[in-house]
Chain A
Amino acid sequence: MASKKTIFAVASNGGHLIQLLRLKPAFPDIQTVYISTASHAPSLIQENRYLRVNDCNFDKKGQLIIAFFQLSKHFVKYRPSYIITTGAAPGLLAIFLGRLIGAKCIWIDSIANSEEFSFAGKIAKRLTPHWYSQWETVANKAGAKYMGSVL
């Protein structure tokens, strides 16, 4: 990997974040900034490699807009070259912003979606070609890619 290209690893708090952290060995420490909705960095992540955005989901438009502007600020500051997310709403916003600045955006749908893509995942399909399910059957059905799962 070319040096010093920033990776944004993004997920909402809870199950999405726990899945993202299981992928941590794939992310070089010095390049990666973790972004989530939890008030503090999770124990595996240094506080200075962690950015918080407003908790948001698709039922609350106002919260989404606040998170979008917070994320935009982080994008302007860090100019990430890679976006990787396990969902949900904050990940989708990050993929949208990543696409605008020409970053390579990777969507990995939550392993909880074992029968079809999540709501956010279906939208992500339109934003990036790096569109993955953690289930081979779901990937085949939806025309997505598969590279394994966090379990």
Chain B
Amino acid sequence: MIFVTVGTQLPFDRMIIEVDNFAKQTEQIIFGQIGNGKYIPQNFDYKRNLNIEEYDKVFNEASMIISHAGMGTIITALTQSKPIFLMPRKASLGEHRNEHQLATMRQFVSYKGCYSFDDSNSLHTLVTTQQKGKSEQLETFAPQKMIDNLKGLLR
């Protein structure tokens, strides 16, 4: 199963439309968390929002993740070694407050198993080549140096 998510805050119809087109071309089962977007997917099941338990469950079951370039989803995918395909929100299209997701995307495409896509065709190619692949694995917690520095401040 491939899990698609727009994150907790804002809808992202531009991505959901591309994923819906991709869903027509693939045998893969897709499940989406689509927020309060106007576009209703025709080719895959979805919920608008998931609580933490539902989110954890569907994330665990997924073999690949399609997401906006949100830090939370990226970190969660990489701690679970799941390949992730990113479409950054663009402030120029009114999709976020500023262009930080473009910067996030640029930063993470150097990680193994982390890719960006702009449309259903590029997504299809990526998913096909990444099947059964694994991403780089992140540790559960921050590096020890950061933890130690923070402990020092809480003294």
Contact = CB atoms under 8 A, between A and B. Distances in A.
A128 to B, nearest CB: 11
A7 interface: yes
Interface residues of B, number: 34
B142 A14 contact: no
Interface stretch (B20-28, B38-46, B49-57, B123-131): B49-57
A112 B104 contact: yes
Interface stretch (B11-19, B65-73, B112-120): B65-73
A140 to B, nearest CB: 17
Contacts of B141: 22-25
Contacts, number: 100
A26 B52 contact: no
B56 A111 contact: no
Query: What's the interface size class on A, roughly?
Result: 35 or more
Interface centre among A17, A38, A41, A147 (most CB of B within 10 A): A147
Given A114-B107, A148-B142, 6 more contacts: A18-B72, A25-B141, A112-B71, A112-B103, A114-B100, A150-B142
Interface of B: 7-9, 51-53, 56, 70-73, 75-76, 97, 100-101, 103-104, 107, 138, 140-143, 145-151, 153-155
4 shortest interchain CB distances as A-B pairs: A15-B72, A148-B146, A14-B8, A147-B149
